[in-house]
Homo-oligomer: A and B are copies of this chain.
Amino acid sequence: MAYQSTAVTVREPLRLAVIGTGWIGAFHARTVAEHLNDAVLHAVADPAPGRAAALAAELGCPNFTEDIADVFADDRVDAVIIAAPSTVHASLIAQAAAAGKHIFCEKPTAHSLTELDASLEAVARAKVVLQVGFNRRFSKDFARAAQQISTGAIGTPQLMRSLTRDPQVSGGLPGAEKIRTHVIFTETLIHDFDTLNWLNPGAEVTEVHVMADALVAPEFRENGLLDTAVVTMRYSNGAIAVAEANFSASYGYDVRGEVFGSSGMVQAGHPAQLSTATFDAQGEHRPTERLNIELFADAYRDQLAVFARKVRGLRDGTPGADLAVPGGGDARAALAVALAALESVESGLPVRLDAATRLAVQA
């Protein structure tokens, strides 16, 4: 007897293009190229001379360009992954939507609610998917916590906490002189704002207060650097939440959450991920994870896998079209908190959020 052939329906692969080839763009491109089943890295685009070419060569990507418009004009592209500088995210979302491309966009999606709203309108008109890179929602630890909350295991949230501490590099904070004031809120804590919103379903932030400082690199305090911040938030259901960040954790990447409710508490995250412990004359020791892409390796991969599955579901009618993903509304809710936090830093006072407009108003 010899081989028989399978009547395989060869499905067209999903063709993804990555826009922006910085650290996170290159990481996403590699994830698509090496870890996504049924999706291919079709093109990479970056206006910086030579960078897209280099990444394409490294990953075996067939197309590259320094003109992002090429991607939008390419009918073969099913979806784009936007990992450009955050200042152009909103504009790229709008262009991608206008071109009918599904969109995965890194956070933050915008730096003002006005520009964000414009881009979300474009998405709504085009009826494309917009998934935002709130990868923490794809962490198994956090997803389990969210599931516990949604099934009522802890009752109504009353006290919440979410923190992000970035790993220390070379004992300091390289590039501190270029970090603008808003970064800790719009780039870092925006993850925590989204996490808290997600873990308190149906509630909205109504008040924000911040204490922040440059403690890691105090020599750049005068430049406006903030590298340490505690944001206190009041929610419409009464819950009081604390989001906390620091740019320089000696022991590695530290992301944790805690929700205390009327009938229980749930915690997620721990700097030591392995179950391995070593004991010696100095006591018990566990290794801690160094990088966000170590701590959240699965989450980074899974958010793109879900995106691809959802887009394919919409294109081919395969399962997945209805998968829930963090979208434009979530991006808006988190950005509103980040902007209010920035305002609180400037005034030194609490800031109230108007539930209707979600615009910050001085308390």
- Interface residues in chain A, defined as those with a beta carbon under 8 Å from any beta carbon in chain B: 1-10, 33-35, 37, 43, 53, 56-57, 60-67, 70, 74, 140-142, 144-145, 148, 153-156, 158-159, 165, 168, 207, 209, 211-213, 215-216, 218, 228-230, 232, 234, 238-240, 242, 244, 246, 248-251, 254, 260, 262-288, 348-350, 363
CA distance A271 to B283 in the complex (A): 8
CA distance A279 to B165 in the complex (A): 13
Which residues of the partner chain B approach A286 to less than 8 Å between Cβ atoms? 283-285
Q: What are 19 inter-chain pairs, A to B, with CB distance below 8 A?
A: A2-B67, A4-B53, A4-B64, A6-B57, A6-B61, A6-B63, A168-B281, A211-B234, A213-B240, A230-B240, A232-B232, A242-B244, A251-B265, A265-B280, A267-B276, A267-B277, A271-B284, A283-B287, A349-B349
CA distance A60 to B318 in the complex (A): 15
Partner among B7, B211, B264 whose Cβ is within 8 Å of the Cβ of A57: B7
Q: A64-B3, A141-B274 are contacts. A280–B350 as well, Cβ < 8 Å?
A: no
Interface contact B285-A276, CB-CB below 8 Å: no
Question: Interface of chain A, helix or strand or loop or mixed?
Answer: mixed
Partner among B153, B158, B165 whose Cβ is within 8 Å of the Cβ of A246: B158
Which residues of the partner chain B approach A283 to less than 8 Å between Cβ atoms? 251, 272, 285-288
Interface contact B265-A249, CB-CB below 8 Å: yes
Q: Smallest CB-CB separation from A156: which chain B residue?
A: B215
Which residues of the partner chain B approach A228 to less than 8 Å between Cβ atoms? 158-159, 238, 240
Q: A272 → chain B, closest Cβ, in Å?
A: 5
Q: A362 → chain B, closest Cβ, in Å?
A: 12
Which residues of the partner chain B approach A9 to less than 8 Å between Cβ atoms? 60
Which residues of the partner chain B approach A262 to less than 8 Å between Cβ atoms? 215-216, 248, 250
Q: A42 → chain B, closest Cβ, in Å?
A: 10
| Contacts beyond the supplied A212-B240, A265-B279, A267-B275: 19 A-B pairs with Cβ under 8 Å | A1-B65, A2-B65, A3-B70, A3-B74, A6-B61, A8-B61, A9-B60, A33-B37, A144-B287, A148-B276, A211-B234, A215-B262, A228-B240, A230-B240, A242-B242, A248-B262, A251-B281, A266-B278, A348-B350
Q: A101 → chain B, closest Cβ, in Å?
A: 15
Q: Smallest CB-CB separation from A234: which chain B residue?
A: B211
CA distance A34 to B308 in the complex (A): 13
Q: A2-B65, A5-B63, A165-B260 are contacts. A250–B141 as well, Cβ < 8 Å?
A: no
Which residues of the partner chain B approach A74 to less than 8 Å between Cβ atoms? 3
Q: Smallest CB-CB separation from A143: which chain B residue?
A: B276
Which residues of the partner chain B approach A215 to less than 8 Å between Cβ atoms? 156, 158, 238-239, 262
